[in-house]
Each structure stands twice: as C-alpha cells, then as structure tokens.
Amino acid sequence: MAWTIKKFCPIARLETIRLLIALAAQNQWPIHQMDVKSIFLNVTLEEEVYVNQPKGFSVNGHENKVLKLKKELYGLKQAPRAWYSRLDNYLQKNGFPRCLHEYALYVKKDKGDILCICIYVDDLILMESNPHMYERFKKVMVQEFEMSDMDLMSYYLGLEVKQRNDGIFISQEAYARETFKKFKMMECNPVNTPIECGIKLSKDDGARKVDSTTF
C-alpha cells in the first residue's frame, strides 16, 4: 500500500504582503508583527515516526533501539503542513475566516473595523483599523501558543519597513549588504549603471552570419 506524506504548507506571497502594506499606508493603519515560539512542538504527530538515539544521549544497553516521536520535529517533511493545519483550525474556530484565494491570509470584520492576519510559517503580520482588535487577537493567541509580540513591523522577509506619519517606506539595504558580504564584494567599485550607456542590443548578437544572396 502506497503511503504519501502531505507536506504542502501555504505561506503568504510577497504580492500579498506588499498589498497589505499599500492598504495600511493608504489608510494610515499600523502593521504589527508577532512570532510563534517552537511551532513544531505545538503539533502532535499523526503518523508513527521513529528516530535514532542522538549521540551522547543513548541509553546504556539499548544503543540499537530507536525512539518514537510524540511531537513534530524540525526537519520532518510533514512538520510545516501539520503546524499550518493546527494554526488554521485555531484561527477559524475563533472567528478569523481564511481568504478563498490566499490560504495564508485571514480577514476579520467587526462593526466597520477590519483585522488582517498574514502568515509565513511562524511569523505573523497584522494590519488593523482599530487597536482594540489587535489586543483581542493577542489575547486569543496567547491562550493557545507561546508568542513574541514584536510591536510595529520593521523587518520582514528581507524587507526593511519604516512606518511613519507621512507613509510607509520599504528598502532592502540590509539584504543587499548581506548579499555583498556573501559573495565577498564589499570592496567592489560602484557604478551608476549596470551596463555601458548607449549600447545597442540585438537578438541576433553572437549568431552565425548568413549569406543573404542565397535567399
């Protein structure tokens, strides 16, 4: 009998995140960020999974035996999906409906106010029109999970975000610097343009020349 593992885990698309940022900037709404601690330890395994005893922690006289996992573990293929299913069920049970076309987005409306929750594995960003909705959401989450409240979003998925009264500004300066460090290009000479100005490109550049008289 074939045994398949469901491992697809919806995560927020960058387009969705940019859309939320644009909506928040247009309406002058704050964007907050929260983090769920030890996400995979919050999920009970549905399948039977066994692992070798870690080096240095094996039981004397039983070195050849394996251990049965009770919780999801970092590195398991099904762990991200299992965590998403747990969080999805909890949010919908507490009145946060999921978007039909973006499974990592949840939107709750209450008497003209709105709260949007965007999920990227264990990172949550929240945009709200009323701060009371944000406070109520935090209370709902801490009842079930160990959370870190990171206040206003300032850095998310490589994006540096500055929220000010005159707008929301996004940059990737830190990401660019890390890329330069990774490829050892911190001392490279800067240029104003990525290519020589005025150069003419052709789709036939580099192709074999043909004799037009043969046609």
Query: Could you give the CA distance from residue 167 to residue 159 in angstroms, rounded to a whole number?
Result: 16
Residue 5 is predicted with a pLDDT of 61
Give a yes or no: residue 189 inside a domain: no
Residue 198 is predicted with a pLDDT of 80
Residue 1 is predicted with a pLDDT of 45
**25-80 confidence digits (pLDDT tens):** 999 999 999 999 888 777 777 778 888 888 877 777 787 888 888 887 777 788 88
Query: Which burial class, exposed, middle or buried, applies to 82 when counting CB atoms under 10 A from its CB (0-12, 13-18, 19+)?
Result: buried
Give a yes or no: residue 199 inside a domain: no
- The mean pLDDT value for 132-149 works out to 91
Predicted confidence band of residue 136 (pLDDT cuts 50, 70, 90): very high
Residue 106 is predicted with a pLDDT of 95
Whether 93 has a pLDDT exceeding 90, the answer reads yes
**98-133 confidence digits (pLDDT tens):** 999 999 999 999 989 999 999 998 899 999 999 999
- State the total domains in the chain: 1
Give a yes or no: residue 136 inside a domain: yes
The count of residues in the chain is: 215
Domain range spanning residue 118?
A: 14-53+64-154
Domain holding 100: CATH number? 3.30.70
**170-205 confidence digits (pLDDT tens):** 898 888 888 989 999 888 887 787 787 788 777 776
5-14, 18-27, 139-148: least confidently modelled range: 5-14
Residue 188 is predicted with a pLDDT of 85
Task: Look up the pTM and report it.
Answer: 0.73
Query: Could you give the CA distance from residue 132 to residue 25 in angstroms, rounded to a whole number?
Result: 19
Give a yes or no: residue 209 inside a domain: no
Give a yes or no: residue 170 inside a domain: no
Give a yes or no: residue 165 inside a domain: no
Query: Could you give the CA distance from residue 23 to residue 54 in angstroms, rounded to a whole number?
Result: 49
Query: Could you give the CA distance from residue 146 to residue 154 in angstroms, rounded to a whole number?
Result: 21
- Asked whether the beta carbons of 7 and 77 are under 8 A apart, the reply is yes
- Residue 113 has φ and ψ, to the nearest 5°, of -95, 160
Give a yes or no: residue 129 inside a domain: yes
Residue 22 is predicted with a pLDDT of 93
- Asked whether the beta carbons of 113 and 133 are under 8 A apart, the reply is yes
- The mean pLDDT value for 10-17 works out to 90
Give a yes or no: residue 195 inside a domain: no
Total Cβ atoms within 10 A of residue 12: 22
Q: Torsion-angle region of residue 38: left (phi > 0), alpha (psi -120 to 50) or beta?
A: left
Residue 50 is predicted with a pLDDT of 84
Query: Could you give the CA distance from residue 95 to residue 63 in angstroms, rounded to a whole number?
Result: 49
